[in-house]
Amino acid sequence: MPFLGLWPYKSLRAINVHAVIDVLKYSAMSRGKNLHFISTASTLADPAQLWVREGGYPLSKFVAEECVRAVVDRFPNFAAAIYRPGSISGDTMNGAVNMEAYINKLMAGLVQLGTFPNLSSTLNWIPVDIVAKNVIQMCLQNIFPPNRLLIANLVNSASMSWQEFVTHLTHTTIFGNKYELKSSIEY
């Protein structure tokens, strides 16, 4: 499956927007049915940039968030929470990841090649079990602010440079290889 971020908006509209609208119709019409919606931290970008730079996935999540906001504004007995996880990594116990995810396939390929592009990126991945624990905890608390819309940005405040990440891979016992950083021209 291709990376969802590369899919055009129209390909994701049914699953990421229309499906949310259907859930909102049910939730808003039912008493006491608050909505807990998982979005993405990518929606924090400028909406104009979502269309041009980011691709269909974050844009479809942004539109879905706007639908949630509209229903909260329209129905006074309805509340919603929007959870925006950042880049999700493997769990903290064993590092298990979804190998169908684009970034994980890319990392596996780079490890196999033994080289990494020398990027100026900063990584702030958050482990999947930490995201899940926080979402479940907030869902169970079911506490909403006076405006009835809770927005939680679930991002890792600790970050590392791409170079630090590659160095860390070199020193792990799992991989134990020396990885070479190559310039983008060499790559």
Average pLDDT over residues 63-68: 95
Q: For residue 127, which of 106, 97, 83, 153 has the smallest C-alpha distance?
A: 97
Residue 89: pLDDT band (50, 70, 90) is: confident
Note the pLDDT of residue 72: 94
CATH 3.40.50.720 residue ranges of the chain are 1-90+125-156
Residues 6+ apart with CB under 8 A from 123: 87, 159, 160, 161, 162, 165
Mean pLDDT of the chain: 85
Residue 65: pLDDT band (50, 70, 90) is: very high
Residues 31-53 have pLDDT tens digits of 767 899 999 988 877 666 665 55
Q: Pick the more confident residue, 55 or 113.
A: 113
Note the pLDDT of residue 114: 83
Pick the CATH number of 1-90+125-156 from 3.20.20.10, 3.40.50.300, 3.40.50.720, 3.30.230.10: 3.40.50.720
Residues 95-148 have pLDDT tens digits of 888 888 777 888 888 888 888 888 888 888 899 999 999 999 999 998 899 999
Contact 77, 115 (CB under 8 A): no
